[in-house]
Amino acid sequence: MFIGHFAPAFAAAALTERAPKLAVLFIAAQLVDWAFFAFTLVGIENMRIDPSITVMVPFDLYDMPYTHSLLGSFVFAVMFGMLIWGLSRNVLAGILAGGVVVSHWILDLLVHAPDLTIAGGAHKVGLGLWNYPLIAIPLELVITLLAFYWFIRTTKGPIGPPAVLLGVMLVFQAINWFGPAPAEMSSAVSLTSLLAFGIITALAWWVGQNRRHKRARG
């Protein structure tokens, strides 16, 4: 899952005016993937290219015990939530940020082949919806678009920035689904992923500068 991970970020931003800024929630949504691709660059975690691993995604994510275990996700969530709480002095903001971090593992559980762990052990889980494109593709689009719509309905400001954000997200997702798969694992795969996250987060920051919650004062 790619843009579907940002659905909880949109939802958290729509839920209350006390939520962190949208860009912060976008970082939370992909925090474990930020860490994973950074870890692959230095050999802490690993992946390889295997077109047979699932129908939709050719990445064999065979070694990611820290970022994509449920325990690891909770550790990242607590650390990030405490950081946001400390910076904002807003307990709810910290809880929402942490919750968005944990949502990543839950959404991955739906689509991944069995490559996720509970605590980094040998037993791996994953429902494997990436083997069923007619389910996985509509699922990702629906949860993203519904959360985006909720965000637009509960915030006010120019529609241009969020429209650009959504458009770029959909283009990146189309490339992810239908673009050519890399022939082999290299640092370019990780760097490209990190660049995509960075672009989308920068656009989320732009959106956050131009929209505010309808219940916010001032």
Helix (H, G, I), strand (E, B), or coil: what is residue 17? coil
Rg (CA), the chain: 17
Q: For residue 103, what are its two tokens?
A: 């949502």
Whether 103 contacts 151, CB under 8 Å: no
pLDDT tens figures, 8-53: 999 999 999 999 999 999 999 999 999 999 999 999 999 999 999 9
Beta bridge partners of 125: 116
Taking only the tens place, the pLDDT of each residue in 87-106 is 999 999 999 999 999 999 99
pLDDT digits (tens, 9 = 90+) for 143-194: 999 999 999 999 999 999 999 999 999 999 999 999 998 888 999 999 999 9
* DSSP state, residue 4: G
How far, in Å, CA of 17 to CA of 179, rounded? 38
Tokens of 68: 């994509």
DSSP label of 124: E
Q: CA–CA separation, 142 vs 161, rounded Å?
A: 21
